[in-house]
Amino acid sequence: MTSGSAVLGHVRDRVDRALQAFLGQQHDVLLAAGQDLLPGAESISGLLAGGKRLRPAFCYWGWRGAGGPDCAEIINAAAAVELLHAGALVHDDLMDASDTRRGQPSLHRQFEARHARSHWHGSPAAFGMGAAILLGDLLLCWTDEMFHASGLPAEALRRGRPVLDRMRTEVFAGQYLDLLGQVTGDETLESALRVVEFKTTKYTIERPLHLGAALAGGCAGQAPGNGAAGQDGPPGADEAPGLAAAYTAYGLPLGLAFQLRDDILGVFGDPAQTGKPAGDDVREGKRTVLLAIARKRATPGQAEIIDRYLGDPMLDEAGTAEFRAAITATGALAECERMIGGHVSEAIAALASAPITGEARDALTELAVAATARNG
Protein backbone atom coordinates (compact mmCIF):
# COMPACT_ATOMS: atom_id res chain seq x y z
CA MET A 1 0.00 0.00 0.00
CA THR A 2 1.33 3.46 -0.86
CA SER A 3 1.61 6.19 1.74
CA GLY A 4 -1.04 8.86 2.22
CA SER A 5 1.38 11.52 1.00
CA ALA A 6 2.05 9.50 -2.17
CA VAL A 7 -1.67 9.01 -2.83
CA LEU A 8 -2.30 12.71 -2.29
CA GLY A 9 0.76 13.72 -4.30
CA HIS A 10 -0.35 11.63 -7.28
CA VAL A 11 -3.48 13.74 -7.60
CA ARG A 12 -2.00 17.03 -6.38
CA ASP A 13 0.69 17.24 -9.06
CA ARG A 14 -1.81 16.65 -11.85
CA VAL A 15 -4.31 19.09 -10.36
CA ASP A 16 -1.55 21.69 -10.08
CA ARG A 17 -0.79 21.35 -13.79
CA ALA A 18 -4.48 21.60 -14.70
CA LEU A 19 -4.87 24.74 -12.58
CA GLN A 20 -1.77 26.32 -14.10
CA ALA A 21 -3.11 25.71 -17.60
CA PHE A 22 -6.52 27.14 -16.71
CA LEU A 23 -5.04 30.18 -14.95
CA GLY A 24 -2.82 30.81 -17.95
CA GLN A 25 -5.89 31.07 -20.15
CA GLN A 26 -7.68 33.33 -17.68
CA HIS A 27 -4.58 35.49 -17.31
CA ASP A 28 -4.87 36.42 -20.98
CA VAL A 29 -8.59 37.12 -20.62
CA LEU A 30 -8.04 39.42 -17.65
CA LEU A 31 -5.15 41.32 -19.23
CA ALA A 32 -7.26 41.94 -22.33
CA ALA A 33 -9.06 44.43 -20.07
CA GLY A 34 -5.76 46.14 -19.24
CA GLN A 35 -2.57 45.76 -17.24
CA ASP A 36 -4.39 47.03 -14.15
CA LEU A 37 -5.76 43.49 -13.79
CA LEU A 38 -2.27 41.99 -13.47
CA PRO A 39 -2.06 42.30 -9.63
CA GLY A 40 -5.34 40.43 -9.30
CA ALA A 41 -4.20 37.65 -11.62
CA GLU A 42 -0.91 37.37 -9.75
CA SER A 43 -2.63 37.29 -6.35
CA ILE A 44 -4.90 34.46 -7.44
CA SER A 45 -1.96 32.51 -8.85
CA GLY A 46 -0.07 33.01 -5.60
CA LEU A 47 -2.99 31.79 -3.52
CA LEU A 48 -3.50 28.72 -5.70
CA ALA A 49 0.19 27.86 -5.60
CA GLY A 50 -0.35 26.46 -2.09
CA GLY A 51 -2.71 23.92 -0.59
CA LYS A 52 -2.88 20.15 -0.18
CA ARG A 53 -5.59 19.63 -2.86
CA LEU A 54 -7.59 17.44 -0.50
CA ARG A 55 -10.95 18.22 -2.08
CA PRO A 56 -9.82 17.39 -5.62
CA ALA A 57 -8.23 14.20 -4.26
CA PHE A 58 -11.49 13.06 -2.67
CA CYS A 59 -13.38 13.95 -5.86
CA TYR A 60 -10.91 11.94 -7.94
CA TRP A 61 -11.09 8.87 -5.69
CA GLY A 62 -14.86 9.18 -5.48
CA TRP A 63 -14.81 8.84 -9.26
CA ARG A 64 -12.37 5.93 -9.22
CA GLY A 65 -14.33 4.17 -6.49
CA ALA A 66 -17.43 4.38 -8.70
CA GLY A 67 -15.57 2.71 -11.56
CA GLY A 68 -14.40 5.83 -13.40
CA PRO A 69 -11.10 5.49 -15.32
CA ASP A 70 -7.95 7.43 -14.63
CA CYS A 71 -8.06 10.28 -17.17
CA ALA A 72 -7.24 13.96 -17.63
CA GLU A 73 -10.91 14.93 -17.72
CA ILE A 74 -11.65 13.93 -14.14
CA ILE A 75 -8.52 15.78 -13.00
CA ASN A 76 -9.83 18.94 -14.68
CA ALA A 77 -13.25 18.56 -13.05
CA ALA A 78 -11.70 17.85 -9.65
CA ALA A 79 -9.40 20.86 -10.00
CA ALA A 80 -12.47 23.08 -10.38
CA VAL A 81 -13.32 22.23 -6.76
CA GLU A 82 -10.02 23.83 -5.73
CA LEU A 83 -11.17 27.10 -7.32
CA LEU A 84 -14.31 26.93 -5.19
CA HIS A 85 -12.15 26.36 -2.13
CA ALA A 86 -9.85 29.28 -3.00
CA GLY A 87 -12.81 31.63 -3.43
CA ALA A 88 -14.18 30.56 -0.05
CA LEU A 89 -10.78 31.18 1.55
CA VAL A 90 -10.60 34.72 0.16
CA HIS A 91 -14.01 35.56 1.60
CA ASP A 92 -13.30 33.73 4.87
CA ASP A 93 -10.08 35.70 5.40
CA LEU A 94 -11.94 38.93 4.73
CA MET A 95 -14.69 38.15 7.23
CA ASP A 96 -12.18 37.03 9.86
CA ALA A 97 -9.84 39.99 9.19
CA SER A 98 -7.02 37.46 8.77
CA ASP A 99 -3.64 38.92 7.90
CA THR A 100 -2.12 35.85 6.29
CA ARG A 101 -3.00 32.81 4.25
CA ARG A 102 -0.60 30.04 3.27
CA GLY A 103 2.38 31.98 4.53
CA GLN A 104 1.69 35.20 2.63
CA PRO A 105 -0.57 38.23 3.14
CA SER A 106 -4.24 37.48 2.60
CA LEU A 107 -5.69 39.00 -0.56
CA HIS A 108 -7.51 41.87 1.12
CA ARG A 109 -4.29 42.79 2.95
CA GLN A 110 -2.33 42.68 -0.31
CA PHE A 111 -4.62 45.20 -1.98
CA GLU A 112 -4.93 47.31 1.14
CA ALA A 113 -1.13 47.63 1.14
CA ARG A 114 -1.10 48.36 -2.59
CA HIS A 115 -3.52 51.25 -2.06
CA ALA A 116 -1.45 52.62 0.82
CA ARG A 117 1.84 52.42 -1.13
CA SER A 118 0.28 54.18 -4.10
CA HIS A 119 -1.28 56.99 -1.98
CA TRP A 120 -4.60 56.58 -3.78
CA HIS A 121 -7.81 58.34 -2.75
CA GLY A 122 -10.11 56.89 -0.12
CA SER A 123 -9.67 54.13 2.41
CA PRO A 124 -6.97 51.47 1.86
CA ALA A 125 -9.01 49.00 3.94
CA ALA A 126 -12.15 49.57 1.86
CA PHE A 127 -10.18 49.09 -1.35
CA GLY A 128 -8.68 45.85 -0.06
CA MET A 129 -12.10 44.64 0.99
CA GLY A 130 -13.63 45.44 -2.39
CA ALA A 131 -10.81 43.77 -4.30
CA ALA A 132 -11.06 40.63 -2.17
CA ILE A 133 -14.83 40.38 -2.69
CA LEU A 134 -14.37 40.67 -6.45
CA LEU A 135 -11.51 38.17 -6.64
CA GLY A 136 -13.35 35.68 -4.43
CA ASP A 137 -16.43 36.03 -6.65
CA LEU A 138 -14.26 35.56 -9.74
CA LEU A 139 -12.89 32.30 -8.36
CA LEU A 140 -16.43 31.08 -7.71
CA CYS A 141 -17.35 31.91 -11.32
CA TRP A 142 -14.27 30.13 -12.60
CA THR A 143 -15.38 27.01 -10.71
CA ASP A 144 -18.26 26.59 -13.15
CA GLU A 145 -16.13 27.50 -16.14
CA MET A 146 -13.41 24.94 -15.40
CA PHE A 147 -15.97 22.28 -14.46
CA HIS A 148 -17.87 22.61 -17.72
CA ALA A 149 -14.67 22.82 -19.77
CA SER A 150 -13.25 19.67 -18.15
CA GLY A 151 -13.83 17.56 -21.24
CA LEU A 152 -16.20 15.14 -19.50
CA PRO A 153 -19.34 14.18 -21.46
CA ALA A 154 -22.34 16.46 -21.11
CA GLU A 155 -24.34 13.67 -19.43
CA ALA A 156 -21.65 13.25 -16.76
CA LEU A 157 -21.62 16.99 -16.10
CA ARG A 158 -25.40 16.98 -15.84
CA ARG A 159 -25.21 14.28 -13.17
CA GLY A 160 -22.54 16.13 -11.23
CA ARG A 161 -24.03 19.59 -11.32
CA PRO A 162 -26.64 19.09 -8.53
CA VAL A 163 -23.89 17.88 -6.19
CA LEU A 164 -21.66 20.85 -6.97
CA ASP A 165 -24.59 23.23 -6.50
CA ARG A 166 -25.51 21.70 -3.15
CA MET A 167 -21.88 21.80 -2.04
CA ARG A 168 -21.70 25.56 -2.65
CA THR A 169 -24.95 26.22 -0.81
CA GLU A 170 -23.85 24.15 2.16
CA VAL A 171 -20.50 25.90 2.52
CA PHE A 172 -22.31 29.26 2.45
CA ALA A 173 -24.60 28.01 5.22
CA GLY A 174 -21.66 26.82 7.28
CA GLN A 175 -19.78 30.07 6.78
CA TYR A 176 -22.79 32.10 7.90
CA LEU A 177 -23.30 29.91 10.97
CA ASP A 178 -19.62 30.43 11.83
CA LEU A 179 -19.98 34.19 11.43
CA LEU A 180 -23.16 34.18 13.51
CA GLY A 181 -21.55 32.18 16.29
CA GLN A 182 -18.75 34.70 16.64
CA VAL A 183 -21.08 37.68 17.08
CA THR A 184 -23.64 35.96 19.31
CA GLY A 185 -21.00 34.33 21.50
CA ASP A 186 -22.63 30.91 21.14
CA GLU A 187 -20.00 28.57 22.56
CA THR A 188 -22.02 25.39 22.92
CA LEU A 189 -20.67 22.14 21.55
CA GLU A 190 -23.87 21.64 19.57
CA SER A 191 -23.41 24.94 17.76
CA ALA A 192 -19.74 24.23 17.02
CA LEU A 193 -20.59 20.82 15.59
CA ARG A 194 -23.30 22.28 13.35
CA VAL A 195 -20.79 24.74 11.89
CA VAL A 196 -18.30 21.93 11.34
CA GLU A 197 -20.85 19.77 9.54
CA PHE A 198 -21.69 22.38 6.92
CA LYS A 199 -18.53 24.46 6.69
CA THR A 200 -16.05 21.58 6.68
CA THR A 201 -17.32 18.03 6.89
CA LYS A 202 -19.64 17.99 3.89
CA TYR A 203 -17.66 20.48 1.83
CA THR A 204 -14.22 18.94 2.32
CA ILE A 205 -14.87 15.21 2.02
CA GLU A 206 -18.45 13.98 1.65
CA ARG A 207 -19.56 16.18 -1.26
CA PRO A 208 -16.30 15.88 -3.26
CA LEU A 209 -16.69 12.09 -3.00
CA HIS A 210 -20.32 12.35 -4.08
CA LEU A 211 -19.33 14.64 -6.94
CA GLY A 212 -16.74 12.21 -8.27
CA ALA A 213 -19.18 9.32 -8.01
CA ALA A 214 -21.96 11.28 -9.67
CA LEU A 215 -19.70 12.20 -12.58
CA ALA A 216 -18.89 8.51 -13.00
CA GLY A 217 -22.57 7.57 -12.82
CA GLY A 218 -22.30 6.08 -9.35
CA CYS A 219 -24.65 8.26 -7.28
CA ALA A 220 -25.91 11.05 -9.50
CA GLY A 221 -28.09 13.65 -7.87
CA GLN A 222 -27.37 12.37 -4.36
CA ALA A 223 -26.42 15.76 -2.96
CA PRO A 224 -29.76 16.63 -1.33
CA GLY A 225 -30.74 15.01 1.93
CA ASN A 226 -28.40 12.69 3.80
CA GLY A 227 -26.92 11.04 0.73
CA ALA A 228 -28.65 7.70 1.26
CA ALA A 229 -29.68 5.84 -1.86
CA GLY A 230 -32.93 7.01 -3.35
CA GLN A 231 -33.54 9.89 -0.93
CA ASP A 232 -34.26 13.35 -2.30
CA GLY A 233 -32.34 12.84 -5.56
CA PRO A 234 -33.83 12.91 -9.06
CA PRO A 235 -35.94 9.83 -9.91
CA GLY A 236 -33.74 6.90 -10.81
CA ALA A 237 -30.60 8.82 -9.89
CA ASP A 238 -28.86 6.18 -7.80
CA GLU A 239 -27.10 3.95 -10.32
CA ALA A 240 -25.02 2.13 -7.68
CA PRO A 241 -27.16 1.46 -4.58
CA GLY A 242 -25.27 2.08 -1.38
CA LEU A 243 -22.35 3.99 -2.86
CA ALA A 244 -23.50 7.45 -1.78
CA ALA A 245 -24.37 6.13 1.68
CA ALA A 246 -20.95 4.47 1.95
CA TYR A 247 -19.19 7.69 1.01
CA THR A 248 -21.28 9.54 3.62
CA ALA A 249 -20.45 6.95 6.30
CA TYR A 250 -16.78 7.51 5.52
CA GLY A 251 -16.84 11.23 4.79
CA LEU A 252 -18.79 12.61 7.77
CA PRO A 253 -16.65 11.19 10.59
CA LEU A 254 -13.47 11.88 8.64
CA GLY A 255 -14.56 15.46 7.99
CA LEU A 256 -15.12 15.97 11.70
CA ALA A 257 -11.68 14.53 12.46
CA PHE A 258 -10.18 16.85 9.85
CA GLN A 259 -11.78 19.91 11.45
CA LEU A 260 -10.77 18.84 14.93
CA ARG A 261 -7.17 18.64 13.72
CA ASP A 262 -7.57 22.10 12.19
CA ASP A 263 -8.96 23.40 15.51
CA ILE A 264 -5.88 22.10 17.30
CA LEU A 265 -3.50 23.56 14.73
CA GLY A 266 -5.30 26.91 14.98
CA VAL A 267 -4.19 27.13 18.62
CA PHE A 268 -1.14 24.88 18.89
CA GLY A 269 0.15 24.76 15.31
CA ASP A 270 3.59 25.73 14.04
CA PRO A 271 3.30 28.80 11.75
CA ALA A 272 5.94 27.28 9.45
CA GLN A 273 3.53 24.43 8.75
CA THR A 274 0.15 26.13 8.98
CA GLY A 275 1.07 29.31 7.09
CA LYS A 276 -0.72 31.42 9.71
CA PRO A 277 0.56 33.11 12.90
CA ALA A 278 0.55 31.11 16.13
CA GLY A 279 -2.77 31.47 17.95
CA ASP A 280 -4.54 33.08 14.98
CA ASP A 281 -7.83 31.32 15.77
CA VAL A 282 -7.63 32.75 19.29
CA ARG A 283 -7.20 36.32 17.98
CA GLU A 284 -10.15 35.85 15.65
CA GLY A 285 -12.34 34.51 18.47
CA LYS A 286 -13.13 31.25 16.66
CA ARG A 287 -15.86 29.24 18.36
CA THR A 288 -14.45 25.76 17.71
CA VAL A 289 -15.20 22.30 19.05
CA LEU A 290 -11.90 22.45 20.93
CA LEU A 291 -13.01 25.67 22.62
CA ALA A 292 -16.49 24.35 23.36
CA ILE A 293 -15.05 21.31 25.12
CA ALA A 294 -12.59 23.50 27.05
CA ARG A 295 -15.40 25.83 28.12
CA LYS A 296 -17.48 22.96 29.39
CA ARG A 297 -14.62 21.55 31.46
CA ALA A 298 -12.89 24.77 32.59
CA THR A 299 -12.45 25.76 36.19
CA PRO A 300 -13.28 29.40 37.02
CA GLY A 301 -9.59 30.27 36.74
CA GLN A 302 -9.20 28.54 33.38
CA ALA A 303 -12.39 30.18 32.10
CA GLU A 304 -11.03 33.60 33.11
CA ILE A 305 -7.88 33.02 31.03
CA ILE A 306 -9.91 31.85 28.03
CA ASP A 307 -12.18 34.91 28.28
CA ARG A 308 -9.21 37.25 28.62
CA TYR A 309 -7.50 36.21 25.42
CA LEU A 310 -10.20 34.89 23.09
CA GLY A 311 -10.87 37.48 20.40
CA ASP A 312 -7.98 39.74 21.47
CA PRO A 313 -6.41 41.09 18.24
CA MET A 314 -3.30 42.13 20.21
CA LEU A 315 -2.64 38.63 21.57
CA ASP A 316 1.12 38.16 21.94
CA GLU A 317 3.37 35.14 22.37
CA ALA A 318 3.07 35.13 26.15
CA GLY A 319 -0.73 35.32 25.99
CA THR A 320 -0.81 32.54 23.43
CA ALA A 321 1.26 30.33 25.72
CA GLU A 322 -1.04 31.05 28.67
CA PHE A 323 -4.12 30.33 26.59
CA ARG A 324 -2.63 27.06 25.35
CA ALA A 325 -1.79 26.01 28.90
CA ALA A 326 -5.35 26.67 30.05
CA ILE A 327 -6.86 24.71 27.16
CA THR A 328 -4.50 21.79 27.80
CA ALA A 329 -5.27 21.81 31.53
CA THR A 330 -9.01 21.44 30.88
CA GLY A 331 -8.33 18.16 29.07
CA ALA A 332 -9.88 19.52 25.85
CA LEU A 333 -6.74 18.93 23.79
CA ALA A 334 -6.49 15.30 24.87
CA GLU A 335 -10.22 14.82 24.28
CA CYS A 336 -9.96 16.20 20.73
CA GLU A 337 -7.04 13.89 20.00
CA ARG A 338 -9.11 10.97 21.26
CA MET A 339 -12.04 12.05 19.10
CA ILE A 340 -9.82 12.35 16.03
CA GLY A 341 -8.56 8.80 16.48
CA GLY A 342 -12.07 7.48 16.97
CA HIS A 343 -13.53 9.26 13.96
CA VAL A 344 -10.68 8.20 11.67
CA SER A 345 -11.19 4.59 12.78
CA GLU A 346 -14.93 4.92 12.12
CA ALA A 347 -14.29 6.31 8.64
CA ILE A 348 -11.84 3.56 7.74
CA ALA A 349 -14.20 0.89 9.07
CA ALA A 350 -16.95 2.24 6.79
CA LEU A 351 -14.76 1.47 3.78
CA ALA A 352 -14.69 -2.24 4.59
CA SER A 353 -18.19 -2.82 3.21
CA ALA A 354 -18.21 0.02 0.69
CA PRO A 355 -19.06 -1.06 -2.89
CA ILE A 356 -15.82 0.33 -4.33
CA THR A 357 -12.69 -1.05 -5.95
CA GLY A 358 -9.81 -2.27 -3.81
CA GLU A 359 -7.52 0.41 -5.19
CA ALA A 360 -9.94 3.17 -4.18
CA ARG A 361 -10.44 1.59 -0.76
CA ASP A 362 -6.69 1.58 -0.14
CA ALA A 363 -6.31 5.16 -1.37
CA LEU A 364 -9.17 6.46 0.79
CA THR A 365 -7.74 4.65 3.79
CA GLU A 366 -4.42 6.39 3.30
CA LEU A 367 -6.09 9.76 2.65
CA ALA A 368 -7.93 9.46 5.97
CA VAL A 369 -4.60 9.36 7.75
CA ALA A 370 -3.00 12.08 5.60
CA ALA A 371 -5.94 14.47 6.06
CA THR A 372 -5.77 14.31 9.85
CA ALA A 373 -2.00 14.18 10.39
CA ARG A 374 -0.53 16.08 13.33
CA ASN A 375 1.93 18.03 11.17
CA GLY A 376 -0.83 20.16 9.57
For 110-123, what is each residue's pLDDT tens digit?
A: 999 999 999 999 99
DSSP 219: S
C-alpha span between 184 and 176 (Å, rounded):
12
pLDDT at 225 over 60: no
> What mean pLDDT comes out for the span 356-369?
93
Report yes or no: 244 and 238 within 8 Å, Cβ to Cβ.
yes
C-alpha span between 325 and 303 (Å, rounded):
12
C-alpha span between 106 and 132 (Å, rounded):
9
pLDDT of residue 219: 57
- Closest C-alpha to 216, from 355, 310, 85: 355
Give the helix/strand (H/E) hosting 100: strand 100-101
Alpha helix ranges (H) inside 237-299: 243-268, 271-274, 280-283, 289-297
C-alpha span between 130 and 70 (Å, rounded):
40
> What letter represents residue 70's amino acid?
D
At 240, is the pLDDT very low, low, confident or very high (cuts 50, 70, 90)?
Answer: low
Cα diameter, the chain: 62
C-alpha span between 312 and 322 (Å, rounded):
13
Task: Provide the 3-class DSSP secondary structure of residue 105.
Answer: strand
Lowest mean pLDDT among 49-58, 119-128, 269-278: 269-278
| Per-residue pLDDT tens digits for 161-210 | 999 999 999 999 999 998 898 888 787 889 889 999 998 899 999 999 99
Residue ranges of E strands in 4-47:
none
Instruction: Give the number of C-alpha atoms closer than 13 A to the C-alpha of residue 353, restricted to the C-beta side.
Output: 9
pLDDT at 17 over 80: yes
Give the helix/strand (H/E) hosting 104: strand 104-105
pLDDT > 70 fraction of the chain, expressed in percent and rounded: 92
pLDDT at 132 over 70: yes
C-alpha span between 61 and 33 (Å, rounded):
38
> What mean pLDDT comes out for the span 15-44?
97
**Domains (ranges, CATH) in the chain?**
4-371 (1.10.600.10)
| Per-residue pLDDT tens digits for 258-312 | 999 999 998 998 887 777 777 888 888 888 999 999 999 999 999 999 999 998 8
